[in-house]
Amino acid sequence: MKPPRGFTLFEILIAMAISVTLLGVLFSIYTLSAKSLSAGQARAELTQTSRSIMERITRDIRETKNVVSGLPPGALDPLNPPLEELMLEDGHSETLQYIRYYRDGGDLYRQIRQYYFPEEPQIMVPHNAEDEFGNEPEISIIENHLVGQYISEIIFYGQNPVSLKLTLEKETIIHETRTALYGRNL
C-alpha cells in the first residue's frame, strides 16, 4: 500500500486561483448591492422630502389671502425670471403676518414674520406700509424652521395657479418635481 500523498504545487495554485476568483466575484456582487441600496435610499429620501415640501407649500398657498411676491406669469422670460423665494400673507392666523419660503444653500426655510413701526410695536402693519416720514416698517421674525434639505433649485411663477419647480440633489441622484398650486382665497 502506498502512503497518502499531499497535493502538488500545481493543484494548490489552481485551487487558490479559483478561490481568489470566487472571492472577487462575491466582493463585486456585495459592492454592487451596497451601491444599489444606497442609491435606492437616497432616491426614497429625496422623494419623501419633495412630497413633504410640496404639502407644506400647498397648504400655505391654499389658505393665503394674498401672494405678496410679484410672481412673473411664466418661467421662460429672461427679462422677468421666476422667483427663488415666495412671500404670502398668512391665511391661518387672525394676526397680520406673512410666510416667507427661502433657500439658504441647500436648505429650504419657512419663516413667519410680522411688520411694525418702532413707535407702536404692538400694532402689526402691512409689509409695504410707510410711516408719516416714508420709513418702512421693522421686521419681527416669529418662526424660522427648516422645511427640507438637498434643494438645488426652487422657483415660483404664475398667479393662480402658482407654479412651483423643485429640484433636489443628493450624491448623484436628482429628483425634480413640478406642480401648480391653487389658492382658495386668491
Please count the structural domains in the chain.
1
In a domain, 25, yes or no: no
d(CA 176, CA 183): 23
In a domain, 22, yes or no: no
Position 3 scores a pLDDT of: 67
In a domain, 120, yes or no: yes
Position 93 scores a pLDDT of: 86
Domain that holds residue 139: 44-181
Average pLDDT rounded to a whole number, residues 102-112: 96
| Summary mean pLDDT of the chain | 92
In a domain, 52, yes or no: yes
C-alpha cell at 101: 419660503
Residue 186 in this model has a pLDDT that exceeds 80: no
In a domain, 165, yes or no: yes
**Between the CA of residue 3 and those of 6, 8, 12, 89, what are the distances in Å?**
10, 15, 20, 96
Position 1 scores a pLDDT of: 64
In a domain, 35, yes or no: no
Residues 6+ apart with CB under 8 A from 40: none
In a domain, 73, yes or no: yes
Q: Which helix or strand (DSSP H or E) is residue 37 part of?
A: helix 9-63
Residue 91 in this model has a pLDDT that exceeds 90: no
Read off the pLDDT of residues 138-179 as tens digits, 9 standing for 90 and up. 999 999 999 999 999 999 999 889 999 999 999 899 999 999
In a domain, 10, yes or no: no
